[in-house]
Amino acid sequence: MLCLGLLPACAGLPVLSGRLEVAVTPEVIHPGDVVKIVVKAPEGTRNVRGRLDVPGSPQLPLKTQDQGKTWTFVTQIPLEAVWKPGRYRAQVRGDGPDGSVLLGETWITAP
């Protein structure tokens, strides 16, 4: 961390302590596809949200039904969606059971 000389100024920063396992299906997306995001997390994880690393992408809340171990989000890509072909990062973030920040990411491809 870059705050070594400024420890008092870093006191309010979140502690990063773990990874979230992220899977997106399909891995190659097309307009009209139904996309499912599944995140595996430590039990008790809260407030998992995700976004696609493109301008204007909102953070989307994921839902859990098993005490915060598995989180999901399902959506359909609009038929009129237009993007540059390439690889895009899908990022997720959650609050760990101990208050730490949990992060995860994976990549999807748009032809």
Q: Which CATH superfamily is domain 17-110 in?
A: Immunoglobulins (2.60.40.10)
User: Tens of pLDDT along the chain (111 residues)?
Assistant: 344 433 344 444 444 457 899 999 999 999 899 999 999 999 999 999 999 887 667 899 999 988 889 999 998 888 888 888 999 999 999 999 999 999 999 999 999
pLDDT of res. 61: 96
pTM, to two decimals: 0.78
Return the bridge partners of 40, or none.
21, 70
Beta pairing class for 21-25 and 34-40? antiparallel
Neighbours of 71 (CB within 10 A): 26
Strand order across the beta sheet in which 21-25 lies: 21-25, 34-40, 70-76, 63-64
pLDDT of res. 17: 53
pLDDT of res. 67: 83
pLDDT of res. 75: 87
The sign one gets for the Cα dihedral 39, 44, 45, 47 is: positive
Nearest to 49 by CA among 58, 64, 60: 60
Q: Where are the domains of the chain?
A: 17-110
Q: How far apart are alpha carbons 53 and 9 in whole angstroms?
A: 29
Q: How far apart are alpha carbons 15 and 9 in whole angstroms?
A: 14
pLDDT of res. 64: 94
